[in-house]
Amino acid sequence: MKKIFLTLLAAVFAASSFAQLDRSVRPEAAPAEPLDFGKYKVYELDNGITLVVVSNDKLPRVTFRMLVDVDPILEGEKAGYVSMAGSLLRQGTNNRTKDELDEEIDFMGASLFTGSSLVYASGLSKYSEKLMALMADVALNPSFPQEEFDKLMKQQKSGIESSKDDPDALSSRLFNATVYGQNHPYGELLTEETLDNITVDDCRNFYNTYWAPNRTYIAVVGDIKARKAKKLVKEYFGDWERKEVPTHKYPAPPQPTGKMVNVINRSNSSQTVLRLGNTIDLKPGDPDIVKLALANQILGGGSLGRLFQNIREDKGYTYGAYSSYDDDRLIGEFSANASVRNEVTDSAITEFLYEFNRLRDEPVSEEDLRAAKNYIAGSFGRSLESPQTLASFALNILRYNLPEDYYENYLNRMDALTAEEVQAAAQKYMKTDAMIITAVGKGSEIGDKLEAFGPVQYYNFQGEEVEAPSMPVPEGVTAQSVIADYIKAIGGEEKLAKVKDITMKMSAEIAGMPPSMEASATIMRKRPNLFFNELSLSGMGVLQKQVYNGKTGKVSSMQGEQTLEGEELEQLKAAGEFFVERKYEELGYTLELEGMEMLDGEKAYVLKVTSPGDDVSTQYYSAETGLKLREASTIETPQGEVTTAQVYSNYEEKEGVKFPMQMKVEGPQKLTMTVQEIKVNSGLKTSDFK
Amino acid sequence: MKKLFTGLLITGTLGWSTAQTNIEFEEHTLDNGLHVILHEDHSTPIVAVSVLYHVGSKNEVEGRTGFAHFFEHLMFEGSPNIERGEYMKIVQANGGALNANTSFDRTFYYEILPSNQLELGLWLESERMLQATVDSTGVETQREVVKEEKRLRIDNQPYGSFQEEIFAKAFPGSYYEIPPIGTMADLNAAEYSDFEDFYGVFYVPNNATLSIAGDIDPDETLEMIQKYFGGIPAGTREIPRPTEEPPALTQEVVDTVYDNIQLPGVFIGYRTPAQGTKEAYALDMLSNVLSDGQSSRMYKKIVDEEQLGVAVAAFPFSFEMAGLFINYGIVTQGVEAIALSAAMDAEIAKVREEKISEDEYQKVLNQLENDFVSSNGRMAGIAESLANYHVYFGDADLINTEIEKYREITPEYLQQIAKKYLVPSNRVVLYYLPKSES
């Protein structure tokens, strides 16, 4: 039982000892306690399963980790099916539906998850057997239900959609695709197209082909005796039959001949996500690992690292700059990264390269070397606090054929290393002469300056090469000529003048919207600038509405109705203006041709249009057809700036004038509106605008 | 050697039994008021040295929000014996890890060191308590770092402003109105003299708890503690603490926030009683019912079956003087935020209207038991829990017994609490909508 002492100490003791204390002397370390690694046991079952047991009864809990040794798989046009197969294991078995699995796992307060080559389960040790039974059920009897596959597919697509605007996700796609190449298992990219090619049978086939006991390791850790663990594994996995499993080899990715800069343009970025690196040939157990570990620690392993000290502490370009490396049986990697402000993107790259080269060119100081050794030894020691660490060591020793004492000697090997050995590792693995530099950021601001580091190539989300975002504007093209071409393209001055009113009924679609909800929109316009715009949702009525009847304007939404005045009213009136582009000059708008960019694969002129009331919009006109493709504007709200954009497409002619049949609204409300019915000059009355 | 853990080990899956660990510890109070808690465990040669100061953002004065956290940063600047910027380097270059955090109610510092460096940790923490360097250079450097931290963690994170927004509306005019990071304006306004005052009032041994866990000899450790901390004078100024509870909400508050996000979200906060109350324990259990695990009600219905949301969660924030029960969801692409909030409300209504089943009740107790056991897996966690339990409840032994508080709660009581607190008139609703698409 616990003992609690409540003691008040004698004051005399305190006062005397304190007086003699010289606080300027930093305490010396006491003799170090040796690290105790603990023991593990290894068994091999008849069917080939390797079992590792780490018994530790400190806490009444257990963890089971099942690992299937599968070679990396090149998925090609079905990229994504292997990871989907892994998730599906947890979504139903021949004995239990997903609901039943959820209930049984949660009832124990346990957790269980699956991946393409693993099952992980943990919970209180009193539930050991039940947990083992559940793990075996998902690992051996998955049913791959179509319904769960469909749900998962929907989630995957939601995930793809949000990663398109996530600079870190983009950076990782770009780095992998261009460092390993897209014909390598580590470089291929999952897209909507590859997802569409996947069937539930692909997932089932993967499982049937690669999951086999002779490729399986099970680590049992925690409050359980080795004998009991063995008995449980035998009981639940003993009947699983051996089989031949295909293996795969891949040629090493081609090495670049110099530095290359690969960019994804993200036009609303205020920061550039930078990542620099190269592949390395460094397999588990390689004697160089410990050398590179030290080199990497000194370079970019945390807040003591040179990258952090230089790029954050000294230059203030970023909140953090780090480096890392991976050893791998197929091919390893060295990389460094930081998110930096747009304007210092090139300066930050210069500092990264400076630090790589400094480590390659000069031996590190004894002080730096000692600090790095202590830091790694310290974190190694802390990691042993969890019995999982020992199990991981054991699994690595078995899978990679490492010497039994590989980890016990790790720190001794590291301690013996010299500054010269660390330098040699930097020279070998930080390939400053053949390095890929990837940047995800605002191309128009950072693009030019990147050319100093090597040839610059732009990519899109799918990993395809695309043209640079800004291109020189052909001679003779001006803002005025772009507008004149647009007027001509939609029908010409004469035809436009004949339009008195317009009514459009549109269906509004939101990707993935529940089928129970249908949205529709009505837009009406009447000369000179009467305007009506209503968006409704079935079952919920009018979501939002804007009306200008020639005198007053109002906006209503779920949050109530508001009569517009002043600047807001002027904006609504301007929105109602008929083919306002014709009258830009007359009304006092300022136009500025900003350049030419690629917009969804189409060359477009970019115009900055400023209204007399100082509202700015950015408009894109097709260089080929002259039609307006996109219009974006930013307004101030109490919560900050809000940008909305309209994207126009599928122009069709009505009464000699071309109208976009599809309009996507991007902004707080994201909608795709498709014109169902369009009427020109149907005789709208002022009283219709209410 | 003392036996530190007595695990009650039950095999098999039948029957109800209690998994329990017993964390032994000893407590002392020095003459200057410093409270000391020691836990001895020799499994790994490491030691966690921590100091908890009972001061957080709720102790800040008007116009100085963010001060307690700002101050935490300054406490790494050094002392007459530790040069500027050396504090972190000394720890890391000696194989240690360190960090600190500030909440509404307290500030917590810790180092995890190889156990042969225990004395180094005590020296560092005692320097911080006795004579931390607070000068204008440090203030200006850390002011920029804190502002950068705010930009990175809050202003620039999707939905990152939700705490700021929800607390402002749930606790208007009270000391919980603004989260510990504070406002840019107040961070800019902080003056050097403020820091001296703050240090003198709050960073005193009689407002601190030194909690140490790991590979130590308690008697030797206590001697070392005397050596480094015994002579630090007790604070002489009164330590101000708010005594009034924040005023209750009178009606539902609804608002919309535009943020740099792809998927709209809904954030709802219900005002609840302070941590440690029976009501707060009940609300913990209700959050499990609603969103812990894939079989939980909200996850099952909203994420799995209807696919209205990609994420949904209920979690109780509890503080010394009050609490806020947060319920949030992020929509599946294309779903309107209002449809998601209606589905969340339907589940909340269910726990108000019906008692949870016996099975579900048992499940929640099992989940809590698992969490309770797992929370004592690391020395740093044990040191922090012991200090928290002592400071907030005057009972460090709750580290062993808190699970009993949950077992005393009945399904009837859960429904009663849901009816009382999880109601619209007692909440703030925030809709998060995207500013734009790229």
Chain B residue at shortest CA distance from A385: B44
Chain A residue at shortest CA distance from B305: A151
Judged by CB atoms closer than 8 Å, whether chains meet at B149 and A105 is answered as no
- The answer to whether the beta carbons of residues A426 and A357 sit under 8 Å apart is no
pLDDT mean over A473-500: 89
Nearest to A136 by CA among A247, A30, A237: A237
Rounded Cα–Cα distance for residues B298 and B404 (Å): 26
Judged by CB atoms closer than 8 Å, whether chains meet at B31 and A11 is answered as yes
**Would you say residue B17 has pLDDT above 50?**
no
Residue A1 with chain B: CB contacts under 8 Å: 6, 22
Residue B15, min C-alpha distance to chain A (Å): 10
Interface confidence, given as ipTM, is: 0.86
Residue A541 with chain B: CB contacts under 8 Å: none
First to last CA, chain B: 63
**Residue B262 — pLDDT band, cuts 50, 70, 90?**
confident
Q: Which residue of B6, B333, B433 is in closest CB contact with A512?
A: B333
Chain B residue at shortest CA distance from A127: B13
Residue B31 with chain A: CB contacts under 8 Å: 8-9, 11, 14
Q: Which residue of A6, A512, A637 is in closest CB contact with B334?
A: A512
Q: Which residue of A127, A540, A642 is in closest CB contact with B436?
A: A642
Question: pLDDT for B110-152, tens place per residue?
Answer: 999 999 999 999 999 999 999 998 877 778 777 777 776 776 6
Q: Which of A3, A9, A630 to mutate to test the interface with B (most CBs of B within 10 A)?
A: A9
- In total, chain B counts a number of residues equal to 438
Least confident of A359-373, A434-448, B213-227, B233-247: A434-448
Model pLDDT, residue B436: 63
Model pLDDT, residue A319: 78
Judged by CB atoms closer than 8 Å, whether chains meet at A61 and B123 is answered as no
pLDDT mean over A585-608: 84
Residue A21 with chain B: CB contacts under 8 Å: 227-228, 231
Q: Exposed, middle or buried: residue A577 (CB in 10 Å: 0-12, 13-18, 19+)?
A: middle
Q: Where are the domains of chain A?
A: 41-237, 260-386+397-471, 479-688
Q: Who contacts A645 (Cβ-Cβ below 8 Å, separation ≥6)?
A: A630, A631, A632, A633, A665, A666, A667, B436, B437
Chain B residue at shortest CA distance from A304: B89
Model pLDDT, residue B10: 28
Q: Calculate the average pLDDT of chain B.
A: 89
Q: For chain B, where do the domains classified as CATH 3.30.830.10 start and end?
A: 26-229, 253-434
Question: Which A positions 545-574 lie with beta carbon below 8 A of chain B?
Answer: 558-559
Q: Is A29 on the interface with B (CB under 8 A)?
A: yes
Q: In this structure, what token pair is assigned to residue B92?
A: 């890391």
Residue A512, min C-alpha distance to chain B (Å): 5
Q: Which residue of B21, B31, B90 is in closest CB contact with A60?
A: B21
Q: Calculate the average pLDDT of chain A.
A: 89
Place of tokens 């740093």: B380
Chain A residue at shortest CA distance from B224: A17
Rounded Cα–Cα distance for residues A661 and A549 (Å): 25
Model pLDDT, residue A19: 53
**Would you say residue A671 has pLDDT above 80?**
no
Model pLDDT, residue A317: 84
Judged by CB atoms closer than 8 Å, whether chains meet at A640 and B435 is answered as yes
Q: In this structure, what token pair is assigned to residue A522?
A: 């009505």
Nearest to A126 by CA among B400, B8, B362: B8
- The phi and psi torsions of A245 (rounded to 5 degrees) equal -125, 130
Query: Are both A41-237 and A260-386+397-471 of the same fold?
Result: yes
Model pLDDT, residue A444: 78
Judged by CB atoms closer than 8 Å, whether chains meet at B10 and A126 is answered as yes
Residue B211 with chain A: CB contacts under 8 Å: none
Question: pLDDT for B176-225, tens place per residue?
Answer: 999 898 887 888 888 888 888 899 999 999 999 999 999 999 999 999 99
Q: Is A448 on the interface with B (CB under 8 A)?
A: no
Model pLDDT, residue B21: 64
Q: In this structure, what token pair is assigned to residue A28?
A: 């010396």
Question: Which A positions 457-516 lie with beta carbon below 8 A of chain B?
Answer: 510-514
**Would you say residue A10 has pLDDT above 70?**
no
Residue A286, min C-alpha distance to chain B (Å): 25
- What are the beta bridge partners of residue A548? A531, A553
Model pLDDT, residue A17: 47
Least confident of A205-214, B73-82, B414-423: B73-82
**Higher pLDDT residue, A599 or A406?**
A406
**Would you say residue A4 has pLDDT above 50?**
no
Question: pLDDT for A262-272, tens place per residue?
Answer: 999 987 677 89
Q: Exposed, middle or buried: residue B406 (CB in 10 Å: 0-12, 13-18, 19+)?
A: middle
**Higher pLDDT residue, B2 or B409?**
B409
Judged by CB atoms closer than 8 Å, whether chains meet at B256 and A559 is answered as yes
Question: pLDDT for A295-326, tens place per residue?
Answer: 999 999 988 899 998 998 788 788 789 999 99
Q: Is A126 on the interface with B (CB under 8 A)?
A: yes
Q: How wide is the angle at C-alpha A538 spanned by C-alphas A535 and A541, nearest 5°?
A: 60
**Residue A636 — pLDDT band, cuts 50, 70, 90?**
low
Judged by CB atoms closer than 8 Å, whether chains meet at B435 and A643 is answered as yes
Q: Which of A24, A26, A313 to mutate to test the interface with B (most CBs of B within 10 A)?
A: A26
Chain B residue at shortest CA distance from A163: B262
Model pLDDT, residue A13: 40
Residue A354's CB: how many other CB atoms inside 10 A?
Answer: 13
Judged by CB atoms closer than 8 Å, whether chains meet at B95 and A381 is answered as yes
Question: Which A positions 230-249 lie with beta carbon below 8 A of chain B?
Answer: none
Q: In this structure, what token pair is assigned to residue A411?
A: 């720190």
**Would you say residue B45 has pLDDT above 80?**
yes
Q: Which residue of B23, B149, B379 is in closest CB contact with A385?
A: B379
CATH superfamily of A479-688: Lipoprotein localisation LolA/LolB/LppX (2.50.20.10)
pLDDT mean over A34-49: 93
Question: pLDDT for A181-223, tens place per residue?
Answer: 999 999 999 999 999 999 999 999 999 999 999 999 999 999 9
- The phi and psi torsions of B253 (rounded to 5 degrees) equal -115, 125
**Higher pLDDT residue, B287 or A20?**
B287
- The answer to whether the beta carbons of residues B421 and B271 sit under 8 Å apart is yes
Model pLDDT, residue B438: 34
Q: Which residue of A6, A27, A319 is in closest CB contact with B148?
A: A319
Judged by CB atoms closer than 8 Å, whether chains meet at B300 and A102 is answered as yes
Model pLDDT, residue B7: 28
Model pLDDT, residue B169: 96
**HEC profile of B316-355:** EEECCCCEEEEEEEEECCCCCHHHHHHHHHHHHHHHHHCC
Residue B378 with chain A: CB contacts under 8 Å: 385-386
The single-letter DSSP state of residue A142 is: B
Residue B258 with chain A: CB contacts under 8 Å: 637, 639-640, 642, 668
Residue A272 with chain B: CB contacts under 8 Å: none
Rounded Cα–Cα distance for residues A286 and A327 (Å): 9
Sheet holding A271-280, edge to edge: A321-326, A332-341, A271-280, A436-441, A260-265, A456-459, A465-466
Q: Which residue of A3, A35, A102 is in closest CB contact with B295?
A: A102
Rounded Cα–Cα distance for residues B81 and B103 (Å): 29
CATH superfamily of B26-229: Metalloenzyme, LuxS/M16 peptidase-like (3.30.830.10)
Q: Which of B28, B111, B258 to mutate to test the interface with A (most CBs of A within 10 A)?
A: B258
Between A98-107 and B358-374, two packed helices, what is the crossing angle to 10 degrees?
Answer: 60
**Would you say residue B9 has pLDDT above 80?**
no
Model pLDDT, residue A2: 36
Rounded Cα–Cα distance for residues B438 and B434 (Å): 11
Q: Which of A385, A461, A510 to mutate to test the interface with B (most CBs of B within 10 A)?
A: A385
Judged by CB atoms closer than 8 Å, whether chains meet at A268 and B96 is answered as no
Percent of chain A with pLDDT over 90: 59
Q: Is A228 on the interface with B (CB under 8 A)?
A: yes
CATH superfamily of B253-434: Metalloenzyme, LuxS/M16 peptidase-like (3.30.830.10)
- Helix residue ranges per DSSP H, A122-217: 128-140, 146-163, 167-179, 192-196, 200-210
Question: Which A positions 624-663 lie with beta carbon below 8 A of chain B?
Answer: 632, 634, 637, 639-645
Determine the topology of domain A41-237 in CATH.
Cytochrome Bc1 Complex; Chain A, domain 1 (3.30.830)
Reported as half-sphere exposure (CB side, CA atoms, 13 A), residue B426 has a value of 16
Question: pLDDT for A89-147, tens place per residue?
Answer: 999 999 999 999 999 999 999 999 999 999 999 999 999 999 999 999 999 999 999 99
3-state secondary structure of A420: helix
pLDDT mean over B13-30: 68
Q: Who contacts A313 (Cβ-Cβ below 8 Å, separation ≥6)?
A: none
- The phi and psi torsions of B265 (rounded to 5 degrees) equal -140, 165
The single-letter DSSP state of residue A97 is: B
Rounded Cα–Cα distance for residues B243 and A210 (Å): 64
Q: Exposed, middle or buried: residue A680 (CB in 10 Å: 0-12, 13-18, 19+)?
A: middle
**Would you say residue A15 has pLDDT above 60?**
no
Model pLDDT, residue B85: 77
Q: In this structure, what token pair is assigned to residue B324?
A: 């806020």
pLDDT mean over B371-387: 93
Q: Exposed, middle or buried: residue B381 (CB in 10 Å: 0-12, 13-18, 19+)?
A: middle
Q: Which of B2, B18, B44 to mutate to test the interface with A (most CBs of A within 10 A)?
A: B44
- The answer to whether the beta carbons of residues B238 and B413 sit under 8 Å apart is no
In order, the DSSP letters of A524-583 are: EEETTTEEEEEEEETTTEEEEEEEE-SS-EEEEETTEEEEE-HHHHHHHHHHHSTTGGGG
Judged by CB atoms closer than 8 Å, whether chains meet at A4 and B46 is answered as no
Q: Is A127 on the interface with B (CB under 8 A)?
A: yes
Least confident of A5-14, A482-491, B322-331: A5-14
Judged by CB atoms closer than 8 Å, whether chains meet at A107 and B433 is answered as no
**Would you say residue B14 has pLDDT above 60?**
no
Model pLDDT, residue B215: 96
**Would you say residue A53 has pLDDT above 80?**
yes
Question: How many CB contacts within 8 angstroms connect chain A with chain B?
Answer: 313
Question: pLDDT for A516-569, tens place per residue?
Answer: 677 888 889 888 888 888 888 776 777 788 898 888 888 887 767 888 888 778
Place of tokens 């030419």: A596
Q: What is the CATH number of domain A260-386+397-471?
A: 3.30.830.10
Rounded Cα–Cα distance for residues A357 and A307 (Å): 12
Q: In this structure, what token pair is assigned to residue B365?
A: 């107790």
Judged by CB atoms closer than 8 Å, whether chains meet at B306 and A379 is answered as no
Model pLDDT, residue B402: 94
